[in-house]
Structure 1
Amino acid sequence: MSFGIIGQAAGLFAVTNIDDILVLALFFAQGAGHKGSTRRIALGQYLGFAAILAVAVAAAFGATFLPESAIPYLGLLPLALGIKAAVQAWRHRGDPDEEEKAREGGPGMLEVAAVTFANGGDNIGVYVPVFATAGAGGMAVYAVVFLVLLAVWIFAGKFFATRPVVARALSRWGHILLPVVLIGIGLLILIEGGAFGLGG
């Protein structure tokens, strides 16, 4: 196995998923102190990313489960989750007990998976030509490297969320930051993809 392809896979993953660390840190902050939240976030991240890989691999072999024109509409997922989180934050503003109840249990596995998949929808367009030219063996290497690096990303997200200074800031502002980031990601995906005639 060539180390060149491992390096290329690592570089491709890092470049296409750098924004995920911020989203993960926000999810970890939301789940802080809730039993099982780390497991749910990690499983959700893997589930969402496995779906991205499955669609990209299928497309590289010529099967299209997800037409290219549908990808921009994935922005509706984080947008809806962001609006829901914003409504909850607004409803429980100024009441720490109610805010705590609203965050109870932290983010769900499917919520994390939906955001991961939607946020990585544009990655599919990058992965497909790379996978198609790499062949079955090369694709397997890319998939393994991506899945290993996903664990590194999850640890990095948790690491940032648990640094005392960051943890204090996220504890204070996370309930505002999470909906803002999710809504921002959703709008960006919709506008950049030209959904509903937006963007170019």
Structure 2
Amino acid sequence: MPNFALVTTLFVGVNLDFFIVLLVLLQKYKFKDTLLGYELGMLIILMVSALAGQFIQSIVPDWSIGFLGLVPIFFGIKGEGDADEEMHAKSKIGILSVMLMYVVSCGADNIAAYLPVLATMQTHAVFITAIYFVILTFISISIAYFFGKLPIIKKVFNTCGETLTRLIYIAIGIFVMIDTGLISHFIH
């Protein structure tokens, strides 16, 4: 059995910064699409950490992962897109956008944090942890959803939500590039 106090602290610690991004994404996409994208992103990161983390880190230099920062910068520059998109296509875009935002903004840090903990677990404990993380992901997005319904939060997003969303996406991209050492690699 996993140490639930440890894995809960780990999950909250590495996902706390994504909470603000969730508020933005929940204003832009449906709850279901945001939930599916967040769950998929979290599971991808967990699987990479559990199955291939050591291998990827030994082959790919940390700084090269920084190129993934271009994805949220692209979303920040591109913006909302055409408002006449079909709802089905928008749903797929929402799920994919949330998943990519989570993987890009949290991927390297979460893998680095998850890897040492998951490496010490037996296979069945990793599966239990994955199920537990799915539950924690649902709880955290539900909390973000209810926070997003507060009148003050809704007013901020109605007034400057598009600009705020773009700035957050661009900031996440820049943070990823700095955090992974991509920018310092090119400076040196």
TM-score range, shorter chain: 0.7 to 0.9
1:51 matched to 2:49? The reply is no
Give the deviation of 1:38 after TM superposition: 1.5
Q: Tell me the residue number matched to 1:12.
A: 10
1:71 matched to 2:65? The reply is yes
Give the deviation of 1:47 after TM superposition: 1.4
1:23-172 alignment to 2 at 5 Å?
23-31=21-29, 37-59=30-52, 62-64=54-56, 67-69=60-62, 70-85=64-79, 101=83, 108-122=94-108, 123-172=110-159
How far apart are the structure 1 equivalents of 2:150 and 2:186? 39
Residue type of the alignment partner of 2:174: L
Q: Tell me the residue number matched to 1:34.
A: none
Q: CA-to-partner distance for each residue in 1:74-104, whole Å, 9 max, x for gaps?
A: 222212111212xx59xxxxxxxx9xx3899
Q: Tell me the residue number matched to 1:192.
A: 179
In structure 2, do the counterparts of structure 1 residues 134 and 115 end up closer, same or farther at CA, with 3 Å as the change threshold? Answer: same
In structure 2, do the counterparts of structure 1 residues 102 and 151 end up closer, same or farther at CA, with 3 Å as the change threshold? Answer: same
Give the deviation of 1:198 after TM superposition: 5.3
Give the deviation of 1:53 after TM superposition: 1.1
TM-score, with length taken from structure 2:
0.84
TM-score, with length taken from structure 1:
0.79
Stretches (4+) displaced over 6 A: none
More helix by share: 2
What secondary structure does 2:56 align onto? coil
In structure 2, do the counterparts of structure 1 residues 199 and 170 end up closer, same or farther at CA, with 3 Å as the change threshold? Answer: farther
Contact 1:82 1:178 (8 Å CA) reproduced? yes
Q: How many residues align?
A: 180
How far apart are the structure 2 equivalents of 1:139 and 1:71? 25
Q: Sequence identity of aligned pairs in percent?
A: 27
In structure 2, do the counterparts of structure 1 residues 102 and 180 end up closer, same or farther at CA, with 3 Å as the change threshold? Answer: farther
- Structure 1: which 5+ runs fail to align? 32-36, 90-97
- Structure 2: which 5+ runs fail to align? none
Residue type of the alignment partner of 1:58: L
Residue type of the alignment partner of 1:42: L
